[in-house]
Amino acid sequence: MANHKSALKRIRSNEARNELNRYQHKTARTWIKKVRTSTVKAEAEQLLRETFAKLDKLAKNNIIHKNKVGNLKSSLTKHVNSL
């Protein structure tokens, strides 16, 4: 266990950030699933724009690696274009 007051605070703040990051990563997977399951092209394009914005924000905050976001965006764009 931590011996310093600042170390105890760091443990608490890390747990809070970890919970928030896990929540955001999980919701990102949900947005991706919505795009992949949509069958109407107009609806998929709208969802794609929203998903891109959210993925870019997660990449900016280092929740998802920027290269993974690029790969996801590429595969989602290919999927929407094939509709």
Residue range(s) defining the domain that contains residue 28: 5-81
CATH of the domain at 75: 1.20.58.110
pLDDT given at position 1: 72
Q: C-alpha distances in angstroms, 9 versus 17, 19, 23?
A: 12, 16, 22
pLDDT given at position 45: 94
Specify the number of domains making up the chain: 1
pTM assigned to the model: 0.79
Residue for token digits 């794609």?
48
* Interval 32-64: pLDDT, tens: 999 999 999 999 999 999 999 999 999 999 999
pLDDT > 90 in the chain, percent: 95
Q: Average model confidence (pLDDT) for the chain?
A: 94
